[in-house]
A and B are shown apart, each in its own frame.
Chain A
Amino acid sequence: EVQLVESGGGLMQPGGSLTLSCAASGVTVSRFYMNWIRQSPGQGLEWVSVIYSGGDTYYADSVKGRFTISRDDSKNILYLQMNSLRADDTAVYYCTRQYSYGSFDQWGQGTLVTVSS
């Protein structure tokens, strides 16, 4: 059974930094395209970033230059380093596995990041 467990969320001040983690079991993160998707409170879904199995990374324009996706293959953990946080980064952040036709078939439970002064 695939399990993705996010952690690291919390209350942050604007301009601060935070690193989210996604511990995977039942799936090897280095063998799949792994993504971060976020959802602002009461709002829809926004794709944030992807890391390919080969290591290439891509970001939404809204986070490019501020967020960095990475993984630790030895620990089977996906990360999202978030710098220069803004109020509009407030959201539940989900770690997801990419499946066929660019769909997302496995999701974590999400971790809430709140950016507020």
Chain B
Amino acid sequence: DIQMTQSPSSLSASVGDRVTITCRASQSIGINVNWYQQKPGKAPKLLIFAASTLYSGVPSRFSGSGSGTDFTLTVSSLQPEDFAIYYCQQSYNIFRTFGQGTKLEVK
């Protein structure tokens, strides 16, 4: 299995801050990484696919980058509704795997 390791596991920030979450794959996976946001009691929502393509309707303050083994999700200016858990996911092979999640909390 391809392991996806996110860092940090949790992050405290304030409204207006710029934050970056990192995801590292256990092998090179091209740009086959997707990012999700999950709020308590809700299903995850797709933010970014193919490492850097913004999904329809997702605010432009979200951006993704990376290729190979290292990927990042950046929120340029945090809004109150952005405090949630974020997951990366690899789609390099059939057996999709997710990172363990990064909890973004209010400082």
A contact set with B: CB distance below 8 Å: 35, 44-47, 50, 58, 60-61, 94, 99-105, 107-110
Task: Judge whether A102 and B34 touch: CB under 8 Å.
Answer: yes
Q: Tell me the nearest residue of chain B to A92, going by C-beta.
A: B43
Task: Judge whether A60 and B95 touch: CB under 8 Å.
Answer: yes
Task: Judge whether A100 and B49 touch: CB under 8 Å.
Answer: yes
Contacting residues, chain B, for A35 (C-beta < 8 A)? 96
Task: Judge whether A47 and B43 touch: CB under 8 Å.
Answer: no
**20 more A-B residue pairs beyond the given contacts A103-B46, A103-B50, A107-B43, with a C-beta to C-beta distance below 8 A:** A44-B100, A45-B98, A47-B95, A47-B97, A50-B94, A60-B95, A61-B1, A100-B49, A100-B53, A101-B32, A101-B50, A101-B91, A103-B49, A103-B55, A103-B89, A103-B91, A104-B36, A104-B89, A105-B49, A105-B55
Given A45-B87, A99-B49, A102-B32; A108-B43 close (CB under 8 Å):
yes
Q: Which of A47, A58, A105, A109 contacts B46 (CB 8 A)?
A: A105
